[in-house]
Amino acid sequence: MHTVWRERNVRRHGEQPKDIGCLVRFVDKTMRLRLLSVKGRGSSTLMNL
């Protein structure tokens, strides 16, 4: 969500936006890393996401 908000602000303030493919890859990688980081912590941690 933070990535989408940052990109919105970049476009709103006239800076050079990133292409859609780059944003999709970045969000995908971020979500994968986030899920991997909570994988071994137990089910109670997953409920707090």
Q: Which two tokens stand for residue 6?
A: 């940052």
What dihedral do alpha carbons 24, 8, 37, 21 form, nearest 10°? Answer: 10
| Contacts of 10 by beta carbon, 8 Å cutoff, 6+ apart | 16, 17, 18
7 belongs to a structural domain: no
User: Looking at the whole model, is its pTM more than 0.85?
Assistant: no
Digitized pLDDT (tens) for each residue of the chain, 49 residues in all: 788 888 889 989 988 888 889 989 999 999 999 888 887 666 565 566 5
Domain that holds residue 44: 18-49
Tally of domains within the chain = 1
Residue 25 φ then ψ, to 5°: -65, -40
Asked if residue 12 is part of any domain, the answer here is no
For residue 28 the two structure tokens come to 């995908």
